[in-house]
Structure 1
Amino acid sequence: MGKMKISGSPSGGGPPVNADKFPIRSAFGNGGRRVTLWTNYFALNVDPKPTWKYSLEVSKHGVDAASEGKGTGAGAAKAGKVAGAAKAPQPEVKSKKRFKIIELALKELLKLQDPNIRLASEFKQQVISSKKLKLPKDNVVVVQLADASRPELWDVKIFEQENGHPDLSALVEYLKTMKDAGNEEQFPKFAAEIDALNVVLSHTTRADPDCASVGSSRFFATNAERIESMPLGESGAQILRGYFQSVRPATRRLLLNANATYGVFRRPGNVGKLLEDFGMARMMEVPFETCEATKDNGIKFFNEDTIKVYDSQLKTLGKNLRHAPLQVKIPKHGNRQEQKVFMTAAGFCTIRDGGDKRNKPIPGEIRPLFHKCKLDNGFDYRNPDGVSFFLKKPEQKSRSDTVPPPPPGLQYDTHVSVRNHFRKKYGFDPNLNLPVINVGKPERPNYVPAELVEIERDQPIKTRLSGTDQRAIISFACRKPQENAQSIMTKARDLLRLNDNPFLKSFGVEVGEGLVTVEGRELSPPTLSHRDHNNDFVDTTPTDGGWRMTGRKVAKQGSRISKWNYLYFVQDPRGSILAFVEFMATKMDIDIDKKPMSPSGIKLGRSGTTVEKAMANLAVAGAQLVIVYLPSKDTATYNNIKELGDCVHGIHTVCVTHKIDPRDNVEGYYTSVGLKVNLKFGGASHVMKKDTTIIGEGKTMVVGYDVTHPTNLGLGAGDNAPSIAALVASVDKDLSQWPGSVWAMRATEEMLDEQLQKHFKKRLVHWRTQAANAKALPGNIIIFRDGVSEGQFKQVLDKELPLIRAACTEMYPPKMQPKITLVVSVKRHQTRFYPTDVEHATKSGSPKEGTVVDRGVTSVRYWDFFLQAHASIQGTARPAHYTVLLDEIFRASYGKKAADALEKLTHDMCYMYGRATRAVSICPPAYYADLLCTRARAHNAGLFEGVDAPGGAAPQKPGATPAKTVPEGSATGGPAPLGSTPQKGPWGSSTPTKVGPSGATLAEAAPEEKKKAIELLRIVHRRLENFMYYV
């Protein structure tokens, strides 16, 4: 295994000359009570037979794949032309079409081979063969792909990769010896071989037409006999339970990790039926007495509150329809039989159709006209009566060509309503209760009645879910650990074809039957200290991962809060607010004045003032804290308040709900919010009684940093939003205060940029200013890097570590550089553990809090461990996974006990999360960095919400309707021009963050504006930058 290279001392003196990257594990940990656990892995037996790997390239017949660009297509087939059809760019080959092309090509390729040859593929870009292949002429297989309208010829080029032989023998040998001479810093090891095994293991399931695959490792049954699903009421989607699998190397063996997984899919079937199930007809049948008359010719519309609810729901459905693969039924007409053509949805017909991204006219294009209709009750959307497209006369391609006459009763070169078009041409009368579906593009629409559109099955979707749907998913996914383990042993093995599969055996692969058992250890919780009524420190011993603060005060008061006030929207919560403040002052000993700045707070809303005005006035009056009483959970209002408090005025804010009512059992709620208040003002919730780790020496700073990318924002939302990086650091040995820095990066960048150096230096400067540190810099720095995959570990060392070193070089004398240990913390992984004995289980059935596993499913060569520090209340507990990328501290200080020291430190820190009275699942530096990223997204909600309008006002409609049938800015859903002064709801602006002089949102902005957009990230007010405002 090679010699360990350790030098230097634990408390400064410069970094070791031969410090290890990817350090060798000095020894396994031994601390704690031993326990035997099952884990969700199966033994993987591999007979290392020779295998071959080939690459695949797909292109249109006769077009070289390397030079093929995005050509143009003719839109729908001639037979399938529907309202407003227009030419559109040909999309690149991917997804289901690519799958089908490669599937056909492999069948043709097998015809050239010996009968016993087997092929495995992920149906994207590679194929694994059990023997060397005989390739066709020019290495190209030509296949014909046909749907109901037209055949297509495609070329699939097959070529052997330069290193085309995955060396399974070398992989098996490495696992036995753990020696890979000359490649010690390569990570992960044998990636090509592991990838080949994953392709082989997933091929049978992926080729199953009754199974949907998502990514490289997740599979969902979709046929009626095996599907595990639940409809989601507010998004028009459904949640499916499926199963994950991935090959993992461990000490002296290979393992197959399998777990239950969940995915959101479009609900398949007829779109008209889906909308009717959703309640469209009910929306249209709201009696007029519930509506308000307008000055616009006496036509009546839904009132503002009704519009807000229905428009939000329709907007969600429309977004989730975008990019959906569809089958469109073309009714029988003339001599043509009924046909079904494959198309892609752009969403519902809206009054913005036919314009560019800024809703400007497109040269050479004639926009649709929009009319008042049954669906025009304040919505953007139009039914078949509410939109007319331009029926252009077909061009005569040659003199002998005959231009077909227009459908009876229609004329060329005029605008025709979708309803009239389908009635006259097809004899089909559309449902006027339903919006029209655009199967073209927003800028070149192609309209079809909803009843003629079918959503294909097996379509995963990335969308922002409502709170109701999120709770439904949690309920569906939350199962007892034993239920999950049982389904992995039965349903997962069936779906993934792991039982006696001849195809796997042909590649020399077999999967063991039972779950693997591993050895774990249960670590004891640390003893915490609070203050009692005499201000003496008293011991608090956690039980079942938590503790109560009854009879206990915070360990350290924050700065005095002498000026505070509260805001509310409806009913004055004065009694509840004062009871809460009284509790903080007397029970928790938080240093806050018991009286607000004004006796009755400040009312917001229609009869009151806006939150902007209220916060501005409070800032002038010197308010330090504002408590905001929200009548219900409202993300947009919350974001607005945090932006105003944190960034604009530099005032700490806390939002509370009806749970603050003193008639309820409020001690837990009061404590939770009170802890946040104390942290915001520099206090400490609790401290370690006697810290025996390296932290207790007072010379070690702990850092956490993370990057969040603009994912899961819904289709069309935040398409060009920036990534957000956040860095937090401790300020002393108490590990109570974690101020931080935040900045924006380009969404395409995975690793942190040069700003890491600047912000790391800021944290060092702040450490030095603390009285407890006597103006000294830390001798040790322990860093927890969150949110990177194993494939990025080496990039962290190669790209981010040098920036951290550079920051230290600026701050320290040349020969006094700090020692650094860098650990990656990962929460999003698929490893789970199950108790084999009820004595070692929590009430929920998960392992006990403090369970650590560093063998069995880990590698002896690398230093990693799993830690479940928390007690899971429900569902199956997910441990955090920690991997040491660099160590200059622990092995030098603790030698063979280094693993125990790091595990204990990490475990103890999980009890130091200041917002809770329970241990948390991942160490606080990583947790706080994630919180800071989340807060930065709240400050800049407009960058991540696309064109959605937050707040309580009716959504704005940028753009212009060319028909001029609706007055601009009217209550009917007419447009307000981009860049105009936005209307405001009762608590502020109703529009998202704008970028550039055009006033467009980031999703709409021109390229030059997008380049500058990441510079517009809201920055926290300098008054709060060294406080934990984000908790």
Structure 2
Amino acid sequence: MEEFTVIDVVEGDDTKIDDSKNGQKAALPLPPPTEIPMDEFTVIDVVEGDDTKIEDNNKNRQESAPELKPPTDEDGNLDKWLFPIRPNVGNKGSKLKVFVNFIKMHFPEKLTLYEHEVKYSILLRGKESGKDKIPLYSSLEKRSLMIEAFNNVVKSAKSLKMPHYYYDGGNVLISTTPVASDSEEVLIANNVVGVVSVSFKIGLPRKLVVDIKSLLNSSNTISFESRCNEMRRLEFITSSVIANEAQCVMNGNFFKSSFELFKIGERFELRTGVFKSLRIIIGSENVNPDRWHLALNIDVKRAPFYTPQNVVNYLLEEFGLSTLETKKRWAPSEISTMQRKLIGLKVKASNTKFVWKIEDVIGKNALEEKFFCEEFDEEISVDKYFRQKYCIKLRYPYLPLVKNKRCTFPMEILDVVPNQKVPNKKLDENALSSVIRLSSITPFKRKCETLEKVSDLGLLKGQRLARDTGIHHTEELMTVTARVLDSFNILHGRDSKNQYVSHVTRSQWDMRNKELFNTARIDNWAVINFSDVATGDLKRFLKNLICKASECGIKISSSWSVFEDKAEKNPHSLESLFQNLVDHKVTYALCILPNTKDWFRGFLKYLSETKYGVITQCILKKTVIKATRDRNPDTLYFNLALKVNSKNGGVNNEVSQESDVIRTWMRPGVMFMGIDVNHPGNAGIKSDSKNAADLEPSVIGVVANCGKSVSDYRMQCRLQSSRQEQLDSVVFKEIVLWFLEKYEKKNGVLPESLIVYRDGVSESQFKMVVSSEVKVFKSAFEQIKENYSPKLTVIVVTKRHSAKFFKTNINSHTHVQEQNIPSGTVIDTVIVSPFLYDFYLCGHHGLLGTSRVLRYIVLHDDNKFDSDDIQMLTYALCFTYQKCTRAVSLPSPVYHAHHVATRGKELFLAAIREKGDKNVKLEEIEMKLKIREKVSNGMFWA
């Protein structure tokens, strides 16, 4: 399995109510409650290995189809449309019929809806509250809470007649019939959900007639913005049935209790949900049809949630029941384990209705922790308080207490509330492995499960919404004629006079007994053994690695230095170790680590790459043992040799120049650039100082091929404001100028074309890319040289979409590896956007689960690519990733940029650890993150 996609909804800050009186410590005050808090959730799609190849029987290129008419404003003007229009439909490749998880929708020509403004007031424990200040809830969770409260009221209010409605959790209600009369508003009685009491007032109806016929007329001059507004209303009303039945509704994902559920140990459960999105699609294999179509994109989702149960049960797997009942003293390491498992959980005390979040596990137990209780007018222990106040005799009085901001509670009186997503960092190795395995759904099974979920949407012909409104969909998945592009052969060999071609089969190639394209030479190197791996095993491993590297053409000296160090327990001793390496003129160090402690590895990389200029490669102890004891470890050694070569300035492979597209674009004069932004997780570093960064910053990772060859990349990583996807204009301009100067220095000329692959951008940010980032490129061109204006193409790479493709001739007996669509499958008709120049491409051969097909959107194109050329070039870049001998799912510039942004985050966290002050200014940290030149002359992040 190559990778999996994780979609995270970010949780906001928590706001608590202060119950303490007169500055005294409260006697177990009642924390902010909620009945069923809706936490963020993670949808995990296991993505799926690397791909197959089908021969291209269609060698004759057809004439280009006429241009697609772009959307206009109400006056028919094109000036406001920023994006290039699809020039034609591609023709290269052999045709392949595939199912796609889109279902055709049918609407009446005109649909009447009613939009109401919803006003609401929130009472927090009887007091008026601002609507943005609900304790424990982020803005997304607050929206879910409001939907839950509204639905509860509608169900209990018999006088309300709303057979079909959708409330967005804010101020908009869409319904098929008017709720209020023409002259009065409707006041809905209070509904209590946990800590929050909400009253709603539904405003006067505004009649809306959605002209479906005009909406889908490709020659109509309806503005793009107007179409978006109409689509939003249609999305609402088509979600009305499933949204009002699901227990969790977030970002188009609906989780119902009736859907399949998998237990993962005692603490977690993997729940099944369905994703739904209404889209305007071309609906035809002609690039310019007279009428577009509406379709539902439906997909099966899996997400890990906490199992609702008593908090003590969360510790059973780790400690066992007898230990929890009898142990009286807990070591700091054991309390640390409890903190790791419990902090962040939303819980409800059995003696109250209130919900709160565990913020810490303290060292004291219920017998030791005491406080002054006003009710009993004495200092009292937690254990005695519960016996006297609630007649509860604690079963586990010696367990450490948990607390929120001010209050401490025994674990055994707390229950974990339902519908809480498990943050990824809370999944241990076994749980994560189970989540990946259970989320890895084969194509045939995913197709069947998708069809099973169709009826839950309530939109089938004959179901109530269809009868009342005429809105319904078909029961079959749409079919699309895809094309399978030819694979590319691979160049290897030491120089231009001695290059050989490896032929690709099922998107992979065999490099046994063949030299790499451009090989490195390592004369002075060392091994740092941080583990207790046996000397004999280590020596045997190193000799085998040198031998395998030699077969690939990599020249590694047969003598090396060995440094034994237990610096894992004292990271700062690494300073003297690396100084010793520098004194011995060591340029490359192989580091044997005992485990996968991220902080230690990050600190090691920080010192080696930014302070001492030593290239490092980390290998786990278990990998060394596996390599020395396996009967056939050649593949393991070869994969290590690939990394050794690319880290030390070598290039493992290039794409053969046999294709016109490759000869035209993968040559000197063309620069490829990849851009990604790494954002902090939910628990990013928070600062106490207003002068410092309030949050852990986002990291920009950029790579460009300004090295020895087309596939030899250099990198830049920079910090910017937390969670900001838009690139800082000043910083990004500096990066572009740095790469242009680097390219000119290496090649003697500036590039004549620049092709950029941009990751991490949502559809709502496309305008930002064109209006801001393209402008930065143009400004950099003007600054570096007068009248310099290279042709720029910007392509957004989208991983987080829900389109899935299935072969039409598979069944439950088909071998898993044969169920996935082949590598090189491209789709640029029927389901693509009528407004954008987009296409779907599967770059790899899926070995596990359902292959993830990436969506590419061309947002700027001075090079005037036709569909075939941009698709073939993008596919070719999937063959130039340097860490393996197979095509991967992402074009290599994007893949490298992802690793660079991740490395930048590691270096930042290590710099903070070294500084020991989380309030340090970002400018100071960024000065410490500059990579030493000795390291940066190769793809050291590989």
Query: Shorter-chain TM-score category?
Result: 0.7 to 0.9
Q: How many angstroms does 1:859 deviate by? A: 2.7
- Alignment correspondent of 1:497: 458
CA deviations over 1:308-344 (Å, ceiling 9, x no partner): 4x445312222241xx1x43222xxxxxxxxx41221
CA deviations over 1:436-489 (Å, ceiling 9, x no partner): 6656x32x22x3322222222222243413332221111111121101111111
After superposition, the Cα gap between the structure-2 partners of 1:129 and 1:846, relative to the gap in structure 1 and judged at 3 Å, is same
1:329 maps onto 2:342 in alignment: no
1:38 maps onto 2:99 in alignment: yes
SS of match in other structure, 1:471: helix
SS of match in other structure, 1:386: coil
- Alignment correspondent of 2:931: 1020
After superposition, the Cα gap between the structure-2 partners of 1:312 and 1:508, relative to the gap in structure 1 and judged at 3 Å, is farther
1:237 maps onto 2:198 in alignment: no
SS of match in other structure, 1:483: helix
Counterparts in 2 of 1:306-325, with a 5 A limit?
308=333, 310-321=334-345, 324=346
C-alpha distance in structure 1 between counterparts of 2:138 and 2:901, whole Å: 38
1:813 maps onto 2:786 in alignment: yes
Counterparts in 2 of 1:359-758, with a 5 A limit?
381-391=363-373, 393=374, 406=376, 411-412=377-378, 414=379, 416-432=380-396, 435=399, 438=402, 441-442=404-405, 444-445=406-407, 447-464=408-425, 465-490=427-452, 492-499=453-460, 500-531=462-493, 536-558=498-520, 560-571=522-533, 572=535, 573-598=537-562, 610-657=573-620, 658-660=622-624, 661-664=627-630, 665-690=632-657, 692-693=660-661, 694-711=664-681, 713=683, 720-731=695-706, 734-754=709-729, 755-758=731-734
C-alpha distance in structure 2 between counterparts of 1:541 and 1:92, whole Å: 51
What amino acid is the match of 2:348?
Answer: Q
- Alignment correspondent of 2:217: 176
CA-atom RMSD, angstroms? Answer: 3.8
- Alignment correspondent of 2:878: 910
CA deviations over 1:156-178 (Å, ceiling 9, x no partner): 244479xx666632x54343325
C-alpha distance in structure 2 between counterparts of 1:165 and 1:922, whole Å: 47
C-alpha distance in structure 2 between counterparts of 1:154 and 1:832, whole Å: 40
After superposition, the Cα gap between the structure-2 partners of 1:319 and 1:692, relative to the gap in structure 1 and judged at 3 Å, is farther
After superposition, the Cα gap between the structure-2 partners of 1:243 and 1:49, relative to the gap in structure 1 and judged at 3 Å, is same
After superposition, the Cα gap between the structure-2 partners of 1:159 and 1:1018, relative to the gap in structure 1 and judged at 3 Å, is farther
Judge conservation of contact 1:387–1:417 (CA < 8 Å) in 2. yes
Judge conservation of contact 1:320–1:715 (CA < 8 Å) in 2. no
After superposition, the Cα gap between the structure-2 partners of 1:570 and 1:64, relative to the gap in structure 1 and judged at 3 Å, is closer
- Alignment correspondent of 1:357: none
After superposition, the Cα gap between the structure-2 partners of 1:278 and 1:63, relative to the gap in structure 1 and judged at 3 Å, is closer
SS of match in other structure, 2:478: strand
CA deviations over 1:835-857 (Å, ceiling 9, x no partner): 11359997251001111111121
- Alignment correspondent of 1:82: none
After superposition, the Cα gap between the structure-2 partners of 1:117 and 1:212, relative to the gap in structure 1 and judged at 3 Å, is closer
Q: How many angstroms does 1:869 deviate by? A: 1.3
Instruction: Select the residue among 746, 749, 766 that pairs with 1:793.
Output: 766
Q: How many angstroms does 1:553 deviate by? A: 1.1
Unaligned runs of 5+ in 2: 1-64, 71-77, 283-291, 688-692
What amino acid is the match of 2:881?
Answer: Y
- Alignment correspondent of 2:742: 766
Q: How many angstroms does 1:348 deviate by? A: 4.5
Q: Which moved more, 1:665-674 or 1:499-508?
A: 499-508
What amino acid is the match of 1:557?
Answer: T
C-alpha distance in structure 1 between counterparts of 2:127 and 2:219, whole Å: 41
SS of match in other structure, 2:611: helix
The structure with the largest alpha-carbon Rg is 1
After superposition, the Cα gap between the structure-2 partners of 1:389 and 1:603, relative to the gap in structure 1 and judged at 3 Å, is closer
What amino acid is the match of 1:889?
Answer: N
C-alpha distance in structure 2 between counterparts of 1:507 and 1:782, whole Å: 48
- Alignment correspondent of 1:24: 85
After superposition, the Cα gap between the structure-2 partners of 1:471 and 1:311, relative to the gap in structure 1 and judged at 3 Å, is farther
SS of match in other structure, 2:91: coil
CA deviations over 1:176-197 (Å, ceiling 9, x no partner): 325546x4xx57x722222222
After superposition, the Cα gap between the structure-2 partners of 1:844 and 1:1016, relative to the gap in structure 1 and judged at 3 Å, is farther
CA deviations over 1:376-411 (Å, ceiling 9, x no partner): xxxxx43312322332x3xxxxxxxxxxx51xxxx4
- Alignment correspondent of 2:147: 99
Judge conservation of contact 1:241–1:262 (CA < 8 Å) in 2. yes
After superposition, the Cα gap between the structure-2 partners of 1:254 and 1:119, relative to the gap in structure 1 and judged at 3 Å, is same
Q: How many angstroms does 1:724 deviate by? A: 1.1
Counterparts in 2 of 1:52-91, with a 5 A limit?
52-60=114-122, 68=130
Instruction: Select the residue among 259, 281, 290 that pairs with 1:250.
Output: 281
After superposition, the Cα gap between the structure-2 partners of 1:57 and 1:65, relative to the gap in structure 1 and judged at 3 Å, is farther
After superposition, the Cα gap between the structure-2 partners of 1:284 and 1:116, relative to the gap in structure 1 and judged at 3 Å, is closer
SS of match in other structure, 1:727: strand
Judge conservation of contact 1:890–1:902 (CA < 8 Å) in 2. no
Judge conservation of contact 1:58–1:93 (CA < 8 Å) in 2. no
After superposition, the Cα gap between the structure-2 partners of 1:246 and 1:548, relative to the gap in structure 1 and judged at 3 Å, is same
CA deviations over 1:128-169 (Å, ceiling 9, x no partner): 122444269884624223479x9x7533244479xx666632
After superposition, the Cα gap between the structure-2 partners of 1:715 and 1:645, relative to the gap in structure 1 and judged at 3 Å, is closer
CA deviations over 1:896-915 (Å, ceiling 9, x no partner): xx100011100111001111
- Alignment correspondent of 1:335: none
SS of match in other structure, 2:556: coil
C-alpha distance in structure 2 between counterparts of 1:101 and 1:1019, whole Å: 52
CA deviations over 1:636-683 (Å, ceiling 9, x no partner): 332222222222222111111333333322221222221122112221
After superposition, the Cα gap between the structure-2 partners of 1:687 and 1:515, relative to the gap in structure 1 and judged at 3 Å, is same
What amino acid is the match of 1:194?
Answer: M
Judge conservation of contact 2:589–2:615 (CA < 8 Å) in 1. yes
Judge conservation of contact 1:109–1:135 (CA < 8 Å) in 2. no
SS of match in other structure, 2:774: helix
Q: How many angstroms does 1:254 deviate by? A: 1.0
Q: How many angstroms does 1:119 deviate by? A: 2.0
After superposition, the Cα gap between the structure-2 partners of 1:271 and 1:95, relative to the gap in structure 1 and judged at 3 Å, is farther
After superposition, the Cα gap between the structure-2 partners of 1:513 and 1:719, relative to the gap in structure 1 and judged at 3 Å, is farther
C-alpha distance in structure 2 between counterparts of 1:539 and 1:685, whole Å: 13
What amino acid is the match of 1:231?
Answer: I
What amino acid is the match of 1:327?
Answer: K
What amino acid is the match of 2:616?
Answer: T
Judge conservation of contact 1:228–1:240 (CA < 8 Å) in 2. yes
Judge conservation of contact 1:726–1:742 (CA < 8 Å) in 2. yes
Instruction: Select the residue among 801, 826, 837 that pairs with 1:829.
Output: 801
After superposition, the Cα gap between the structure-2 partners of 1:594 and 1:53, relative to the gap in structure 1 and judged at 3 Å, is farther
- Alignment correspondent of 1:845: 819
CA deviations over 1:22-49 (Å, ceiling 9, x no partner): 1111110000000000011111112231
After superposition, the Cα gap between the structure-2 partners of 1:501 and 1:712, relative to the gap in structure 1 and judged at 3 Å, is farther
Judge conservation of contact 2:442–2:816 (CA < 8 Å) in 1. no
C-alpha distance in structure 1 between counterparts of 2:566 and 2:129, whole Å: 64
C-alpha distance in structure 2 between counterparts of 1:634 and 1:135, whole Å: 64
Counterparts in 2 of 1:938-977, with a 5 A limit?
938-941=906-909
Judge conservation of contact 1:824–1:884 (CA < 8 Å) in 2. yes
Instruction: Select the residue among 199, 216, 220 that pairs with 1:155.
Output: 199
Q: How many angstroms does 1:778 deviate by? A: 0.6
